[in-house]
Homo-oligomer: A and B are copies of this chain.
């Protein structure tokens, strides 16, 4: 492998993990310890890494900074996301709403050839370099912390878009429909529903029976719900009454190491 290429690889690994041991680098790039040391020395001198005894830490803010990696989403959330991702067929045009669950869905998409539309910066950063994914970002005012683009511009951009499926999360579900906590968010999400032929809702069972500030849409807007075993029979019946397909993932306790 070429020197510069290898150094780039080291940087990538360091960026991804935040911190790498020298031994790990030796194993991952397949060169001798000396060479890795020399590379670290070089990259440290360049100010791109901070050497420490036994390894190196990435210097500066990483490009995809949003804690994508350290994210501690629960096993349940991950399972729901996995199932939702499985429902998506290669070649589809998918609109992904913001939120931690949908971010998890995005993570599970790798390898699929898709057109993905999103207004979430974390999701876009994640999918940006995913081979096979054609990415379209819905711009607008970027809401701090969550990193989703909202507002007039986002709504305008969504009006010119048509997708086969929307995957969205919610703040709460009742018989009256879906709720979310932010009025601006709700407005944008309504336009998303307009743009989609099929709406898939990802929501863990705790969301059922919960309301939130703003009413988003009625249950009839939703065609599919992915949730966990915790959902009661009552709610299952409500879903059935609205012709909503329920996908229930087992909420078992098997630990998934990542």
Interface on A for B, CB 8 Å cutoff? Answer: 2-5, 7-8, 11-12, 15, 19, 21, 46, 48, 52-55, 57, 60-61, 63-68, 70-71, 107, 119, 121-122, 124-126, 128-129, 134-142, 144-145, 147, 149, 153-154, 157, 160
Q: Is the CB of B137 within 8 A of A4?
A: no
10 contacts between A and B (CB under 8 A): A3-B53, A5-B52, A48-B70, A63-B122, A64-B125, A124-B142, A135-B141, A136-B153, A137-B137, A139-B154
Q: Is the CB of B63 within 8 A of A66?
A: yes
Which B-chain residue is minimally distant from A110 (CB atoms)?
Answer: B61
Which B-chain residue is minimally distant from A4 (CB atoms)?
Answer: B52
- Chain B residues closer than 8 Å to A19, beta-carbon distance: 2, 4-5, 8
Which B-chain residue is minimally distant from A147 (CB atoms)?
Answer: B128
A60 to B100 Cα, complex, angstroms: 14
Known: A129-B145, A137-B149. A5 touches B65 (CB 8 A): no
A121 to B127 Cα, complex, angstroms: 11
Known: A52-B2, A55-B5. A66 touches B128 (CB 8 A): yes
Do most interface residues of chain A lie in helix, strand or loop, or is the interface mixed?
A: mixed
Copies of this chain per assembly: 2
- Chain B residues closer than 8 Å to A5, beta-carbon distance: 19, 52, 55
Q: Is the CB of B125 within 8 A of A63?
A: yes
Known: A19-B5, A137-B121, A145-B129. A11 touches B70 (CB 8 A): yes
Which B-chain residue is minimally distant from A50 (CB atoms)?
Answer: B4
Q: Is the CB of A142 within 8 A of B135?
A: yes
Q: Is the CB of A128 within 8 A of B137?
A: no
Q: Is the CB of B137 within 8 A of A71?
A: no
Q: Is the CB of A53 within 8 A of B149?
A: no
Distance in Å from the Cβ of A16 to the closest Cβ of chain B?
Answer: 11
A126 to B65 Cα, complex, angstroms: 7
